[in-house]
Amino acid sequence: MKITVLGFYGGYPSQKIGTTGYLVQSGDFNLLLDAGSSTLLELEKHINPLELDAVLLTHYHHDHTADVGVLQYLWQLNEKIGKTKLPIYGHNEDPLNFGALTWPNASEGFAYNEDTKLELGPFEITFQKTVHPVPAFATRIEDKTSRQVFTFTSDTRFFDELVPFAQNSDLLITDTNFLESYKGTKWHLSTKETAKLFDESASKRLIISHLSPLLELNQVLKETRKFSSKPSRIGLPEVGRVIELE
């Protein structure tokens, strides 16, 4: 399995870096995990977007879905390669946004839920509802052949169930939006909470994501490493970077 970083900021794009989006690949299967602002432009550097096999959305905040509409237009206006419609998977706890996943001659929406494992090409995907102002779901993606595991927290504050959900991940990507000193209401993880999740889940590798454009990235990285027993296994995302799981 390999994961390509398409964008990693939370809230809004900044400094030519888009918001959340990852290309997850195994064999010839191409899965787009979230489609934040500017991610379509980066995706085009790696594959033809018409070669996508599916899109999976963790929730419907704009910094995770801003490019869904233009991706639908691309599928609508161009001659298809193979399949005629792009499958887009999302939860149906928000009927209005879920309904928009289906677009004429472009895409069809499919619902997932946390009680059922999703079989999608080479992947087995399980879901954990997170703690966020809107329904959002962490995703655990396991390659059925290699048994490699990639867990993505999506947006969430810390809660105990995240630890077993992420257990023994080969790669963990976390919503790390706050420094430990932040004192307001937290709907995202702090650096210390991310380190706690990484250590207690016994994950092999951590990439911090959903980073705030208002913070200096190396400061966020340094602080996350300070709180972890495995600092050398923690890194920053980089747009265009391809992470091959070991």
DSSP states along 187-224: SSEEHHHHHHHHHHTT-S-EEEESB-TTS-HHHHHHHH
pLDDT confidence of residue 82 = 80
Q: 2-51 pLDDT, tens per residue? A: 999 999 999 999 999 999 999 999 999 999 999 999 999 999 999 999 99
CATH value at residue 193:
3.60.15.10
Angle CA 204–214–9, to nearest 5 = 45
The domain of 194 spans: 2-244
For residue 112, which of 187, 31, 28 has the smallest C-alpha distance? Answer: 31
Cβ–Cβ under 8 Å, residues 189 and 157: yes
DSSP string, 31-67: EEEEE-TTHHHHHTTTS-GGG--EEE-S---HHHHTT
Taking the C-alpha atoms of residue 235 and residue 202, their distance in angstroms, rounded to an integer, is: 16
Reference 210, options 22, 66, 40, 7; nearest CA is 7
Predicted local confidence at residue 189, as pLDDT: 98
227 has pLDDT over 90? yes
Contact predicate 77/107, CB 8 Å: no
The pLDDT of residue 81 is 81
State both tokens at 77.
């206006």
What average pLDDT score do residues 117-145 get?
98
- Does the pLDDT of residue 103 top 90, yes or no? yes
Question: What pairs with residue 152 in β-bridges?
Answer: 139, 173
Count the helix, strand and coil residues of the chain and give each as a percent rounded to the nearest 5. Answer: 20, 30, 45
pLDDT surpasses 90 at 242: yes
pLDDT score recorded for residue 80: 86
Confidence of residue 115 (pLDDT cuts 50, 70, 90): very high
Question: Is 37:12 a contact under the CB 8 Å cutoff?
Answer: yes
Domain count, the chain: 1
CA distance 116 to 102: 22
State the residue for tokens 């999302």: 90
Query: What are the pLDDT digits (tens) for 147-204?
Result: 999 999 999 999 999 999 999 999 999 999 999 999 989 999 999 999 999 999 999 9
